[in-house]
């Protein structure tokens, strides 16, 4: 089967890997001229980790990732308010856990394709004509035919808009925005420590990475439309929100103009009654974005890509059957993750002082190893079971 996958983020290359392994012929098309950099540091575990293991990329992830020693909440003056050791979570999941920059995860997956998958950078699709095959018109002017097309083009999926209609009908806004940027040479560093400073309505996080870099991320309540796509306005919004905060916020802001990567988006979820129409399907954030607040977008995207590939393998060329089975296997797990993300909103960006105090008290309790073990053990249980390792 010839499959066009639009988007080479996390879901797209994972799907390409598995389709190739099952004997299909995937083509990846990515709008950016090169793999996209930037983004936050994610915690990677559960079924997503299992998929990575089956792809043989866990050693690469471990090499590029971090074993965080401390999560520390600080006051406006930098005093430690609460802290815990997340390695306790490692015990709970038998060491199958790593914190890794989103761009390193994406790069590791892409590297696993080697030269085995046709990958087109700097091009996207302009038209889709779904018939006995799909006739695809590329922005570059090229026209090609594929058996199926899969949109893996993220939260603001173009494939979804072309096939199902405007984003607004599927987007659940959470009233929260997220920014992440990376700077070189920032001091202090606090190796392997995730530092957070939280006030009513916003949280800023600092994590030092290799090569003397530091990733900052910021999560803040923002009810009105966000200027996604206009970097000047996005940076201005971040500046406006950070400038009112204590701790290192003023110093972090000074580094914003020299950031070597900058990511900004709304923390939205995508809820759709179906993930396919005709020969076109969606995967990852394009189909079912759980939002940053779930901490699960990338792992879920990998799991969804894997499940879609196995269903296409098992359906003997019947793409409709494969697409339906793919959704039935994942829909309830996606709902669980999306609902959990909404509950977590108060932890990242508390709406009032009471929520802030409760949040910090809970973090304080996590400093007690037994409490952390029970709480993290419970939250690290994944509602998704993968089918046995494929032999093909």
Ligand X SMILES: Cc1cc2nc3c(=O)[nH]c(=O)nc-3n(C[C@H](O)[C@H](O)[C@H](O)COP(=O)(O)OP(=O)(O)OC[C@H]3O[C@@H](n4cnc5c(N)ncnc54)[C@H](O)[C@@H]3O)c2cc1C
Q: Which residues bind ligand X (CB under 6 A)?
A: 6-12, 29-32, 36, 38-40, 102, 124, 152-154, 158, 178, 180, 217, 263, 284-286, 292, 297-298, 301
* Closer by beta carbon to ligand X, 135 or else 161: 161
CA 266, CA 11: separation in Å to the nearest integer? 19
| Nearest distance in Å: CB 17, ligand X | 13
Q: How many CB atoms lie within 10 A of CB 177?
A: 27
Q: Give the residue among 154, 170, 264, 184 at the shortest CA–CA distance from 218.
A: 264
Provide the minimum distance between the beta carbon of 302 and ligand X in the complex, in angstroms, as a whole number.
8
State the minimum distance, in angstroms, from the CB of residue 121 to ligand X.
9
- Burial letters for 26-55: b for 16+ Cβ neighbours within 10 Å, e otherwise? bbbbbbeeebbbbbbbbbbbbbbbbbbebb
Q: Cβ of residue 263: shortest distance to ligand X, in angstroms?
A: 4
Taking the complex as a whole, the smallest distance from the CB of residue 296 to ligand X amounts, in Å, to 9
Sheet strands side by side (includes 193-199): 80-84, 70-74, 193-199, 202-209, 213-221, 171-184, 261-270
Which is nearer to ligand X, 53 or 167 (by Cβ)?
A: 167
Helix (H) / strand (E) element for 27: namely strand 25-30
Q: Is 375 helix (H, G, I), strand (E, B) or coil?
A: helix
Beta bridge pairs of residue 207? 215
By C-beta, is 28 or 366 nearer to ligand X?
28
Question: Measured from the CB of residue 294, what is the shortest distance to ligand X in angstroms?
Answer: 9
Nearest distance from C-beta of residue 291 to ligand X, angstroms: 7
Q: What Rg, from alpha-carbon coordinates, does the chain have?
A: 21
Q: Which is nearer to ligand X, 10 or 113 (CB)?
A: 10
Distance of CA 183 to the CA centre of its chain: 21
Tell the smallest beta-carbon distance from residue 102 to ligand X (Å): 5
Helix (H, G, I), strand (E, B) or coil at 373: helix
User: Which is closer to ligand X, CB of 157 or CB of 198?
Assistant: 157
Of residues 32 and 209, the one with the C-beta less far from ligand X? 32
| DSSP single-letter state for residue 366 | T
DSSP string, 327-349: HHHHHHHHHHHHHHHHHHHHHHS
Q: Determine the 3-state secondary structure of 131 from DSSP.
A: coil
Q: Which is nearer to ligand X, 214 or 298 (CB)?
A: 298
CB of 246 to ligand X, least distance (A): 23
Least Å distance, CB 215 to ligand X, is 9
What is the rounded distance in angstroms from the CA atom of residue 250 to the CA atom of residue 216? 13
Token pair recorded at residue 343? 């509950």
C-alpha closest to that of 214 among 60, 40, 332 = 40
Q: What is the DSSP letter of 243?
A: T
Report which of 328, 280, 287, 279 is spatially closest to residue 305, judged by C-alpha positions.
287
Separation between Cα atoms, residue 41 and residue 215, nearest integer Å: 8
Helices 46-55, 11-21: inter-axial angle, 10-degree rounding: 50
Position closest to ligand X via CB: 9
Which residue's CB is nearer to ligand X, number 64 or number 102?
102
Measured from the CB atom, the residue of 152 and 259 that comes closer to ligand X is 152
12 vs 86, which CB is nearer to ligand X? 12
């Amino acid at each position: 089967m010839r499959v066009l996958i639009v988007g080479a983020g996390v879901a797209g290359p994972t799907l390409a890997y598995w389709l190739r392994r099952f004997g299909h012929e995937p083509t990846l098309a990515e709008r950016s001229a090169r793999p996209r950099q930037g983004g936050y540091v994610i915690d990677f575990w559960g079924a997503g980790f299992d998929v990575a293991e089956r792809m043989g990329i866990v050693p690469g992830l471990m090499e590029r990732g971090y074993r965080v020693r401390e999560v520390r909440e600080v006051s406006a003056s930098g005093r430690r308010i609460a802290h815990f050791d997340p390695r306790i979570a490692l015990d709970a999941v038998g060491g199958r856990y790593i914190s890794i920059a989103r761009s390193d995860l994406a790069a590791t997956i892409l590297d696993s394709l080697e030269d085995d998958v046709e990958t087109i950078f700097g091009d996207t699709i302009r038209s889709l004509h779904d018939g006995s095959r799909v006739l695809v018109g590329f922005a570059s002017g090229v026209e090609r035919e594929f058996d199926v097309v899969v949109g893996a083009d993220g939260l603001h999926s173009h494939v979804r808009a072309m096939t199902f209609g405007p984003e607004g009908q599927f987007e659940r806004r959470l009233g929260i925005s997220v920014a992440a940027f990376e700077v070189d040479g920032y001091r202090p560093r606090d190796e392997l420590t995730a530092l957070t400073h939280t006030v009513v309505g916003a949280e800023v996080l600092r994590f030092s990475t290799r090569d003397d870099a530091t990733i900052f991320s910021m999560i803040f309540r923002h009810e009105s439309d966000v200027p996604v796509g206009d970097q000047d306005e996005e940076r201005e919004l971040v500046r406006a929100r950070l400038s009112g905060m204590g701790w290192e916020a003023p110093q972090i802001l000074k580094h914003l103009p020299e950031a070597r990567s900058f990511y900004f988006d709304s923390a939205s979820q995508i809820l759709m009654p179906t993930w396919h129409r005709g020969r076109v399907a969606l995967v990852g954030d394009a189909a079912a974005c759980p939002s940053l607040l779930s901490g699960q977008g990338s792992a879920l995207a990998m799991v969804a890509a894997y499940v879609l590939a196995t269903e296409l393998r098992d359906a003997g060329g019947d793409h409709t059957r494969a697409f339906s089975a793919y959704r039935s296997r994942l829909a309830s797990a996606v709902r669980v993750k999306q609902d959990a993300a909404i509950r977590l909103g108060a932890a990242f960006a508390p709406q009032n002082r009471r929520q802030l105090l409760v949040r910090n008290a809970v973090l304080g309790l996590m400093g007690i190893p037994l409490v952390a073990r029970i709480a993290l053990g419970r939250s690290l249980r994944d509602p998704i079971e993968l089918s046995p390792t494929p032999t093909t």
